[in-house]
A and B are shown apart, each in its own frame.
Chain A
Amino acid sequence: MQGYLWFAAKRFIQLLAVIFFGVSAMFVVTYLSPIDPVEQVLGRLSARSNLSPEAIAATRLALTEMFGTDQPVLTQYVNFWSRLLRGDLGASLMAFPTPAMELVLRAMPWTLGLLLTSTAITFVVGNLAGGLAGYFQNSRLLKAFGIVTMGLQPIPYYIVAFIILIVFGYLWPVLPISGGFAMDVRPGWTLPFILSVLQHSLLPALSLVLVGLGGWFIGMRALVSNIVTEDYVTYAELAGVRRDTIVGDYVIRNALVPQVTALAMVIGGVFSGTVITEQVFNYPGMGSLLVDAVNAGDYSTVLAVCTISIAAVALAIFIVDLLHPLLDPRVRAE
């Protein structure tokens, strides 16, 4: 148990380091950029409406104060952190005066739901199929499954999502291709709403699952086909241990350990995929919010989405890492 706590503590320090580094990198990017956020916001504002010179000057002053761009770097950096820790990144420009953080928190459940379910499905199906394909190497069905998923795997998310959109939007319109839920359903914990949400999430989730399957399949098949040749598997077979026990407890469990490590490593990449998927399917999550915010020149919201996503990805990796020792007793012992 003490070993586990030590392990968890080390991982926790790493989590803090990742968030610290990511957020600092964001600060450096925004600080070093040749573009002044104040002037940018001002440009956006005055492009849409006629403002008197006095109003512009007043707005500039207010914005400078809000972003704190007139202070020395270190003060700005400290201010940035203190505002971040208080969860206050200023008002959003697109949906003035809603705080940017509130927009992010509103969009987060959509992205989390989509990301978690599709990652879970991908991981389970890909590893199960890959494990079986590694053990039963002559199965035609599993071979065909492998070829299809491997063919899809290297293709960029966008292309797969787009092909799905064309197939289900134009050729065979059976599923909704846009939005998070049907227009005529009132949000709430009611059955029609939940059904509508599920129905709308099918296509975005499908595109994420299709792209993700191949990687797990290939990895697991390679791992299992190595493990199958080990002596203990042959011994178990000769000793008459049941087939499903061998496959499940002896082979796949052992092969799963590196796969869980890999799961922690791909979460960041899956997040980029969700952004694109949300954009293609017009899903009301953080990805769509990010794209809208960039297009609207909404400084606070862009920063808020970036911070939250870095922290969320780091947290997800941390949780997967904590689950790791439960699967592999060797990590606990170290």
Chain B
Amino acid sequence: MEIVAKDCLAPRIVRLVVKAPRIAAKAQPGHFVVVRLNDRAERIPLTIADFDRAAGTITLIIQEVGKSTAMINAMEPGQSFADVLGPLGTPYPIEKVGTVVGVAGGLGAAPLYPKVKALYEAGNRVIVILGAQRRELLILMEELRAVSHELIVATDDGSYGEHGLVTVPLRRVLEREKVDEVIAIGPVPMMDACCRITRELNVKTVVSLNAVMVDGTGMCGGCRVTVGGQSKFCCVDGPAFDGLQVDFAELRQRQRYYNAQEREAYQAHQHGMEGCRCRAK
């Protein structure tokens, strides 16, 4: 599966266009892939951030957070993944529901984009709230602007847009007008915080969960998440779930189980490695 194009969206955030005709033919918003870089690599899940059926390509947006993502982001066009499996997961239902607010935290913009694009094209009124720690980490701003009726941007440090967390404009919008559905995608604490507000205001909320996965096909059960008191397999039952029912505390703990080993692998790898040029930014 060859990489045909690459660009850096932000420091340590890379966009890859990958040749994968079979996957492109089937991809829907909400789908993801599981990739393996080489023969020693682990299998990791990545959202299909966009797809082009005619060109037979899918777009991945990857943030370097550890060894696997560092190695992937250091790849250049012409190089290939050992394996790309997909499309995986249950597609996000695209319907005309009325007004939808999409909230993205950091890299969450990547999975959010195909969903709001489809919802926008399906005739919904779409409001997007895009947040990041600081200005350079805002990604897909223009793409999201193009598929929304209103775009609100917030940064934690105030270097762009509103100063503060996405939850502030979220509450404001929900108190301002009737919203039929909220989609919140980003780090677990951010999704958790959004759901606290929507639960209080009783607004349907969908989140996309990023449990630790192995196969991505329902075979290992490692991606278990608790939703409404029931155990679900994130890779086949999700990754989108009713945010008001998700046990976020459990998900956060499960994401951390391998942190010591992950740090060890990352450090050993960084030793003497250059990585993608965008890291320097």
Query: Are A and B subunits of one complex?
Result: no
Q: Which residues of B does A touch, CB under 8 Å?
A: none
Q: Which residues of A does B touch, CB under 8 Å?
A: none
